[in-house]
Amino acid sequence: MTRFRSVFAGVGSYLPKKVLSNDDLANMVDTNDEWIRQRTGIKRRHIAASGETTSMMAVHAAKRALKDANVEAGELDLIVLATATPDLTFPATATMVQREIGMYRGFAFDVNAVCSGFLYALAIADSFVVRGQARTAMVVGAETFSRILDWEDRTTCVLFGDGAGAVVLRGEPGAPGMGDRGIIHTHLRSDGRHEELLYVDGGPSKTKTVGHLQMSGNKVFRHAVTNISGAIARVLDDTGLNVSDIDWFVPHQANERILEGIAKKMGLARDQVISTVADHGNTSAASIPLALDVAIKDGRIKKNDLVLFEALGGGFTWGAALARM
């Protein structure tokens, strides 16, 4: 059976127009710009307009990624869309995107691994591509976390933003080698024992409501640094690489202090870490493709660079992935 490797062919992203600054938030809850910047590094975040949904943002990002890849929607075999904030309980947001971009073949489905969603979706899409079951695949991360925040809770509402990002993967013949472009390795983990540290207190089956995000911030912080560092170490170990071999780290953008903590623990140079947290806040599953798009478009990440992605999210779910762009 022919083996393939998943090569990044294009990337695109979308942020809603409305920008909410820390000063804007200070008019809504008992907080201030200095506290938010010092504790999180966040300066502003984008918020979806009334009626603007996860699928709408995903469609913008998907179309931009297709254009960047020079691929028609009709060439796609697969869409895997990561979200914890779908338009509806069902159908999957992925099939709405499929319809709106004009992809009338293949298959599309959602993945919910919260902030690790993009990594999970990437690993799943990769497994279809490497076995030749999808020659061209799209991976999307899209969220409207603004709809699940309690806007009176200063401990959570200052942290998150809305947005979407997408990548197009193309199957190229040949198993992934270290020098080849494409996804080289992925490592996923989860541990359901920590549900009470980060969850939404509503859902169709339990409460018949949407609910609000609840988080024990400093406990999540500690798990994030430990678990993500572990996942990075595992990917390096599995591939026989050292931190010094990696050109860029594109982390899930939760908090500048988490990024600094991981960089310090792993011995990464701070300027190798792509950070968009100041401008985007935490956009959950959308944060990695949004950051990747920024760093490719501004010329930092180039073709053939070795990039390590990592994330942790509710569940807990976490993981890391290594790719040559």
Smallest separation (angstroms) from ligand ACO to the CB of 65: 22
N-to-C CA span, the chain? 25
What type of residue sits at position 73?
A
**Which residue in 212, 252, 255, 280 is the catalytic one?**
252
The yes-or-no answer on residue 115 being catalytic is yes
Smallest separation (angstroms) from ligand ACO to the CB of 4: 32
Q: Which CB, 119 or 220, lies closer to ligand ACO?
A: 220
Per DSSP, 287 falls in state: H
Smallest separation (angstroms) from ligand ACO to the CB of 214: 11
Closest CA to 46 of 87, 93, 14: 14
Q: Which CB, 96 or 123, lies closer to ligand ACO?
A: 123
Number of C-beta neighbours around residue 324 at 10 A: 21
| Distant-in-sequence, close-in-space partners of 140: CB < 8 Å, separation ≥ 6 | 58, 61, 62, 79, 80, 81, 82, 94, 97, 121, 164, 165, 166, 289
Encoding tokens for residue 304?
A: 């053939």
Q: Which CB, 186 or 227, lies closer to ligand ACO?
A: 227
Q: What is the largest CA-CA distance in the chain?
A: 61
The yes-or-no answer on residue 157 being catalytic is no
What are phi and psi for residue 185, nearest 5 degrees?
A: -160, 150
Smallest separation (angstroms) from ligand ACO to the CB of 288: 11
Distance CA 87, CA 162 (A): 13
Q: Which CB, 98 or 282, lies closer to ligand ACO?
A: 282
Smallest separation (angstroms) from ligand ACO to the CB of 283: 9
Q: Which CB, 34 or 245, lies closer to ligand ACO?
A: 34
Per DSSP, 30 falls in state: S
Number of C-beta neighbours around residue 242 at 10 A: 9
Residues that bind ligand ACO (CB under 6 A): 31, 35-36, 39-40, 114-115, 154-155, 158, 198, 215, 217-218, 220-221, 224, 254-255, 258, 282, 284, 312-314
**Which residue in 22, 46, 112, 115 is the catalytic one?**
115
| Residues annotated as part of the active site | 115, 252, 282
